[in-house]
Amino acid sequence: MKHYILILSLFISILDCCGQGDFRDSNLPIDERVELLMDQLTLDEKIGFLQHNNPAIERLGIPAYSWWNEALHGVARNGFATVYPMPIALAATFDDKSVEEMFSLVADEARIKYFESQKKSQFGDNTGLTFFAPNINIFRDPRWGRGMETYGEDPYLTAMMGTACINGLQQKFDNKYKSLACIKHFAVHSGPEATRHSFNAIVSERDLWTTYLPAFKRIVKNTDVSMVMCGYNRLNGEPCCTNDALLVDILKNQWGYRGLFVTDCWALNDCWERDTVILRHKTHETAAHAAADAFGSVIDLECGSGLNALRDAVNQNLISENVINTHTYKILKARFLLGMFDSEQPTPKATNTSFFDDKALELARKSIVLLKNNGILPIKINEYKNIAIIGPNAADSVMLSGNYNGTPRNTITILEGITQHINSLPKQNRPNIFFDTACYHVGKEYKISKDFYKKIAKCDLVIFVGGLSPELEGEQLEVEAEGFLGGDRTSIELPDIQRSILMKLKSLDKPVIFVLCSGGAVALDWENNNTDAILEAWYGGQAAGTAVADVLFGKVNPSGKLPITFYSSKNKLPDFESYDMTNRTYRYLTERPLFPFGFGLSYTNFDYFDGKFDPKSRTLKFKVKNSGKYAGDEVVQVYITNKNDVNGPYKTLVGFKRIHLLIGETRNMIFKIDDEFFEVFDESLHQFKKISGGEFTIEFGYNKIDIKI
């Protein structure tokens, strides 16, 4: 009889459970499914979801999952994957539409790799669908080593490119997200790398709201971005990941953000660890107090290893179980939105890898910026019998991938790209190629072969491929080289060894084309005066070599524009650790730079005319004509100068559009300028205010319109 009662009770329990529904039933509303799962979790299981490595819950058939995955410019650190140009290069395209298409392809590739990992029972870091990208910090100073991860120095361009990334990664199919995106690092983070775990960024209220926050604000207000990651640094004394003024007052309350709040990886450790090697903030007494301060506020997910600390905080009554429930609910809902708990997870359709490769080549081509051309480009191949390709970046395939990258299935170096182009020509038109690395990126040791200068003397043209390397600039690197420190630069000049080689090449009285690869601006005063052409090729990804060759030989008309200012060596940069925007970026620079933001030459000419602005509708109209001898793309840019705002910015980008024009073609352009660009920040009111009347200058192309509203 007792056995009968036990079996009956179990049967009734099963019926009750079935009556409540199954959290794997994709026909139920997601909120209901989350509640069904939450009801079955213990407190420790709930806490387990609040660290980036979610442990498996075997009794419910839930596998482990890692939230830590990277997709800065392609699926990273997960085997073979397409490697697109670095974000700074993507910004140079000024083509947010193509960038969105690219990140949609990244999400497709990520889905494919995710299911491959699932089949192999691989659930660790870099196997999932939640990506800590994009990096939308402002590239305020060329010395910052991680600037290559950003979309440049302008808040509006950064916001538009960041939006493209998010919309691409978070595209939906079968009513589920392909993947989830995360904007980082909130906020005011751009070096120094060597002391980022203890650095306190002191920022004025004006600079905070006019430079460092606008991209975050625009993206939060105009997308459904799933995650925001707080930075390592302190902001005005308080670590960003426990900074209620930043996370609660601004992000949550003022902007209405309701997505996930994520810490940078092991950032909470900086609050409490007493380290003898790495300087840290040390603002909290214990790990439990730091966890309570973060999760007791708005942090939902810690990238790190703080589960024990969070459990201790609960045990010590520093944080309640109700708060844990709130965070766990948000985490689970995000995973449901990816289809991870469906009985049949949505499977991506097979995608031809040629789609990925084609987009990588397209964006590499569009990113290249022609900084100087005395007429030598495009190369007239019939005029040269012997071409020398020299320099440390010519045959460097690793450099092209930048950082936070995957492993490309195939990389075309710049040497290979040029060689392949020449070999595609009829034999009678093919010049001979001589290659020598010549030197390392830095140092005093040459790599020149003995017959170097003899062979150069026989060449008709020299292409020097140099610049920087991700081995020298990047995230918290251990680098001991002149001009570099901890991943940042201490000098913006081209390394001495490379300039020395260029001087020797110049002395041979040969035409020299300089192909520069870098993650940021380099002071090129001597190079600009002593070479015949300069191309900025960035870290252009797997197809960079083909793209550079296409531009050099005229298959592609260069169309990239600088997303950063290229300072002259004569420009006196402010102290690197100062976050004051005075004399920084094109928006506040008082001196003439070598190459300004938005600059980039073409093989053709574009004329702008018939500009008209309607103050009531805030609409600008004008025409653009290709008046040159080549078809090509033009990046049309619109800037505004607010003459009422004496503290700047002096001018700021308010609109852009990439267009393609055939020879002689004219295009009508229409830009509606957002009302926010006609506001000023009032420090006495601690906010922006609309201007009822005032004077402005609007620039488009080479024209200006002075208006009063």
Give the catalytic positions in this structure.
264, 473
Q: How many CA atoms lie within 13 A of 397 on its CB side?
A: 13
Long-range contacts of range 682-691, CB-CB < 8 Å, 24 or more positions apart? 683/205, 683/206, 686/205, 687/209, 688/209, 691/642, 691/644
Say which DSSP state 443 is in: S
Reported in sequence order, the residue ranges of 287-437 that DSSP labels E, i.e. its strands, are 369-373, 386-390, 432-436
Q: Quote helix, strand, coil % in the chain, to nearest 5.
A: 35, 20, 45
Ramachandran sector of residue 36 (left: φ over 0; alpha: ψ -120 to 50; beta: rest): alpha
Distance CA 448, CA 389 (A): 13
Distance CA 517, CA 495 (A): 13
In 3D, which of 424, 392, 422, 397 has the Cα closest to residue 412? Answer: 397
Reported in sequence order, the residue ranges of 187-266 that DSSP labels E, i.e. its strands, are 200-201, 227-230, 234-235, 238-239, 260-263
Distance CA 194, CA 475 (A): 9
Say which DSSP state 318 is in: S
Residue 481 and residue 519 in contact, taking contact as beta carbons nearer than 8 Å: no
Q: CA angle 135-140-146, nearest 5°?
A: 45
Distance CA 608, CA 620 (A): 13
Cis amide linkage into residue 134, ω under 30° from 0: yes
Distance CA 32, CA 50 (A): 20
Rg (CA), the chain: 27
Residue 36 and residue 22 in contact, taking contact as beta carbons nearer than 8 Å: yes
Distance CA 621, CA 59 (A): 64
Distance CA 508, CA 474 (A): 35
Say which DSSP state 409 is in: S
* The dihedral sign for the CA sequence 232, 236, 237, 240: negative
Distance CA 325, CA 327 (A): 6
Q: How many CB atoms lie within 10 A of CB 651?
A: 17
Q: How many CB atoms lie within 10 A of CB 708?
A: 9
| Cross-strand partners of 658 | 635
Length of the chain: 709
* Residue 242: both structure tokens together: 């426990």
For residue 699, the surrounding DSSP H or E stretch is: strand 695-700
